[in-house]
Amino acid sequence: MEFENCFIIAELSANHGGDLGIAKETVRAAKRAGADAIKLQTYTADTITLNVRNDNFKINQGTAWDGQYFYDLYKGASLPWEWHEELFAVAKEEGLICFSSPFDRTAVDFLEKLDAPIYKIASFEITDIPLIEYVASKGKPMIISTGIATLEDIELAIEACKRKGNNDITILKCTSAYPADPEDANLITIPDIIKRFKVNSGLSDHTLGIEAPVVAVSLGAKVIEKHFILNKSIGGADAHFSLDEMEFKKMVEAVRMAEKMMGKVDYDLTEKKKKSRYFSRSLFIIEDVVKGDIITEDNVRSVRPGIGMHPKYYKDILGKKFSESAEKGTPLQSDLIAQ
């Protein structure tokens, strides 16, 4: 993927309330909020876990989902596959890119039929090398989250893509906590990812608020992904750490402002800067002098405005003589100094 500006993704995830109408309106709201893309998740409870009722499959990790079985959580959170085509169509009408995270080969095959333009590997799937290889083999841009990843996991995932001839890889810094604590964001990892792996990088953000994406962009992030919900009253598995339309819009505006402020490496003076140099320092005659007087600290000083000689010449001219008489307040110029 080529990025002129940061690519901002609204993650629909489980924020559909089991209602296609809500899902469609969420896509439209993402456009209003300034997103570049809407991302879905393509799985069923049966493609992501097993319907087994023992402690191995019961969540007990200090999360908002503790006490639930994997199967029940994903059955309630999953986006019906029969909705995908309509959501892709709504996104196209709105001018949004629509893509998804597939969680098994059948999901990839399904998304290929919809001509998905990008694929996202979710944080918890980064260890599924066969899945990554299969997705990468489709030749689409790959976005990979690293929420639970070790350095080796990231290396293996990148190698899996490259084995399939896919070098269009973006690695997202991610903290798989819901919500994530700010002190665990470690956003300085983003420029390290860029340097270490020679790939694009970005942020899949689970912190509350909008500060992390703004900081991430200043560190070189080219992709920002944030969970998006039409209204938090909808509830659901991800509602508690998602942004609503107003919050997401504020995030987009802040990110775009950060991009604007970063600008480019530039030491040239704009016309505004040139005018402002009037307020800089320069050398002035600070008491009346006559021709032949010696230039001393008592009759020449660096003051504002900046229309006299540059202060860098101050020590060089001390001890020389004035070539002309001049009044207090005259900007010192070279022609007033005897050669």
List b or e across 143-172, with b for residues whose CB sees 16 or more CB atoms inside 10 angstroms.
Answer: bbbbbebeeebbeebbebbeebebebbbbb
Q: What pLDDT is attached to residue 238? A: 83
DSSP class of 50: -
For the entire predicted model, the pTM comes to 0.87
Beta bridge partner(s), residue 289? 326
**Chain-centroid distance, C-alpha 191:** 11
Distance separating alpha carbons of residues 161 and 165, to the nearest angstrom: 7
Q: Long-range contacts made by residues 226-229, C-beta under 8 angstroms, separation at least 24?
A: 226/8, 226/9, 226/10, 226/11, 226/251, 227/11, 227/13, 227/15, 228/10, 228/11, 228/12, 228/15, 228/26, 228/29, 228/30, 228/33, 228/35, 228/38, 229/15, 229/26
Q: What pLDDT is attached to residue 287? A: 98
Residue 100's H or E segment, with its range, is strand 97-102
Residue 22, Cβ neighbours under 10 Å: how many? Answer: 18
Check if the beta carbon of residue 111 is closer than 8 Å to that of residue 138: no
Distance separating alpha carbons of residues 143 and 137, to the nearest angstrom: 14
Q: What pLDDT is attached to residue 63? A: 74
Residue 322, Cβ neighbours under 10 Å: how many? Answer: 20
Q: What does residue 49 show for φ and ψ, rounded to 5 degrees? A: -155, -170
Structural domains in the chain, CATH included, are 7-43+78-262 (3.20.20.70), 271-336 (3.90.1210.10)
Distance separating alpha carbons of residues 41 and 10, to the nearest angstrom: 12
Beta bridge partner(s), residue 157? none
Residue 236's H or E segment, with its range, is none
List b or e across 114-131, with b for residues whose CB sees 16 or more CB atoms inside 10 angstroms.
Answer: bebebbbbbbebbebeeb
Q: Which residue has the tokens 């489980």?
A: 14
Distance separating alpha carbons of residues 84 and 94, to the nearest angstrom: 15
Strands (E) in 29-91, as ranges, are 37-42
DSSP 239-257: GGG-B-HHHHHHHHHHHHH
Kindly report, residue by residue over 215-250, the tens digit of the pLDDT. Answer: 999 999 999 999 999 999 998 878 889 999 999 999
Distance separating alpha carbons of residues 106 and 103, to the nearest angstrom: 8
Q: What pLDDT is attached to residue 65? A: 78
Question: Virtual CA dihedral for 189, 193, 196, 198, nearest 10 degrees?
Answer: -160
What is the mean pLDDT for each group of 10 consecutive residues in the chain (339 residues)?
Answer: 92 93 98 98 96 93 84 92 98 98 98 98 96 98 96 98 98 90 95 98 95 97 97 87 96 97 90 93 98 98 97 98 98 96
At 209 the three-state DSSP class reads coil
